[in-house]
Structure 1
Amino acid sequence: MKNVEQILKSKAEHQTVYAIGPDDSVLDALKLLAEKNIGALPVLEDGQVVGIVSERDYARKLVLKGRSSAATPVREIMSAPVVTVEPKHNLEYCMNLMTNRHLRHLPVVHNGKLLGLLSIGDLVKETIAEQAGLILQLEQYIRGETA
């Protein structure tokens, strides 16, 4: 089973981690989310992950309360404290964490530094790939083929 470090490496060429500051406006966060076609942004303060802001936070904590996205800082709607994972954690651990905590994004942090961001889609893709590989191995075994 792959670990977080391996998953990040497999998506490295497609992964730029965008982040926002806690004092930036929610409108700035929304613009970045839309421009990059992503669903969440880690919130960094002095290089440390202090929260995460998502489309869900925007909808539930700002729109439904009639607040202004231009006048509201990210820190007022971000989810904090943020749940993070380490590079050594495995796929199963991340899937369980996301399922049990109802999360869609997991910042990957090591020694206080943000290394990447995993989405539920990243983990589902890896799970499907692992299962497909296992099925292929079992079919080859059944047919008496050696790899």
Structure 2
Amino acid sequence: MPYIEDFMTKEAVSTDAGDSCLEAAKLMVRMNIGAIVVSDGDRPVGIVTERDFLNKVTASGKDPSKTALREIMSSPPVTISPKATVRDAARMMIEKGVRRLVVVENDKLVGIVSIRDITRILVGSMAAWKEARVTLE
């Protein structure tokens, strides 16, 4: 079973808790990402997703240029070790009801993994298993 470190996004984009939602949203658009890790130095303290912007800023009538990320971030973020397995990650996502896990080693941000990453690995594994099975028959 593959480990998280084998397929996580290693260059997770992060920003400071004091940054405005507008700045973070612009960064997310520029980087083409659906979530941003909120950090205190190298230590992740939260995560903000596109859904957070919709529910906690736009739908709430807040001004994104005057709303700090610390006001809307999910904190603490749900974290996982890069040495964890895909199964561990899938189980954690289901138990915690999240679609992204912040990958942390020694309290430092080392990556991010999404439900899309997990699905891609599992579908690839199933295809390989199916191919091996056909070859054996």
**TM-score (normalised: structure 2):** 0.94
1:126 aligns with 2:129: no
1:111 aligns with 2:94: no
Correspondent of 2:133 among 129, 138, 141: 138
1:128: Cα distance to partner?
0.6
Q: Match of 1:58?
A: 53
For the residue of structure 2 that corresponds to 1:94, the secondary structure is helix
**Distance in 1 between residues matched to 2:5 and 2:12, nearest whole Å:** 15
Aligned partners of 2:11 and 2:110 also within 8 Å: no
User: What RMSD in Å do the two structures reach over aligned CA positions?
Assistant: 1.2
For the residue of structure 1 that corresponds to 2:80, the secondary structure is coil
Larger RCO of the pair (alpha carbons < 8 Å, separation 6+): 2
- Structure label with greater radius of gyration: 1
Identity of aligned residues (%): 34
Compare the two structures and name the one with the higher strand fraction: 2
Q: Deviations over 1:4-41 (max 9, x none)?
A: 12223xx6xxx532111000000011001111111000
**Distance in 1 between residues matched to 2:111 and 2:2, nearest whole Å:** 16
Unaligned runs of 5+ in 2: none
Runs of 4+ in 1 over 3 A off after TM superposition: none
**Distance in 1 between residues matched to 2:18 and 2:105, nearest whole Å:** 24
Unaligned runs of 5+ in 1: 143-147
**Distance in 2 between residues matched to 1:17 and 1:5, nearest whole Å:** 13
Q: Match of 1:4?
A: 4
